[in-house]
Amino acid sequence: MTSHSPPSILQLRDATTDPNYGKNPEERTLEERLQLGIVNLDKPAGPTSHEVVAMLKRILNLSKAGHRGTLDPGVTGVLPIALSKGTKVLDALLLGTKTYVTNMRLHDDVSNKRLQEVLAEFAEQIYQTPPLKSSVKKILRKRRVHRIEYLERDGKNVLFLVEAQSGTYIRTLCVDIGRVLGVGAHMQELRRIVSGPFSERENLVTLQDLVEGVILRQDYNDEKKLRESILPIEKAVELAPKVWVSDGAIDPICNGSPLAVPGIVKMTNNIQKNGLVAIMSLKEELIALGIAQMNTAKITNSQKGIAVIPRSVLMERGTYPRVKK
Positions marked active-site: 72
Count of residues for the chain?
325
Q: How far apart are CA 35 and CA 22, in angstroms?
A: 15
Dihedral sign, Cα of residue 110, residue 116, residue 121, residue 122: positive
Task: Give the residue among 55, 51, 87, 176 at the shortest CA–CA distance from 126.
Answer: 176
Task: Give the residue among 72, 69, 81, 64 at the shortest CA–CA distance from 48.
Answer: 72
Who contacts 242 (Cβ-Cβ below 8 Å, separation ≥6)? 267, 268, 277, 278, 279, 280
SS3 content of the chain, % helix, strand, coil (to 5): 30, 35, 40
Neighbouring C-beta atoms of residue 137, cutoff 10 Å: 8
User: Coil, helix or strand for 276?
Assistant: strand
Task: Give the residue among 248, 254, 237, 238 at the shortest CA–CA distance from 314.
Answer: 254
DSSP H helical ranges for 3-158? 30-35, 49-60, 112-121
